[in-house]
Amino acid sequence: MGLVSRSIEAAGIPTLTLAMERGVRAPRVALVSFPYNHPMGEPGDAARHREVALAALALLHGLDGSGEVHVF
């Protein structure tokens, strides 16, 4: 995902990657503490999915450049 994100960013479009572990080589990374294959939380938990999505989208405005931020 890092390569794709960097290519999209080079075109002037900001991106954000959800990751379960540190060290993902992408411009903006939102770290989450959920199990693999569930980056938005447990299946069926619409309220949590919304929280994660809103927190991740907020990073697009909150980070001026590259960075990793733990959101959940």
Domain locations along the chain: 2-70
Q: Is the pLDDT of residue 6 over 90?
A: no
CB 2 within 8 A of CB 25: yes
Handedness of CA 22, 64, 40, 2 (dihedral sign): negative
User: What does pLDDT average to over the chain?
Assistant: 88
* Mean local confidence (pLDDT), 35-47: 93
* pTM for the structure as a whole: 0.77
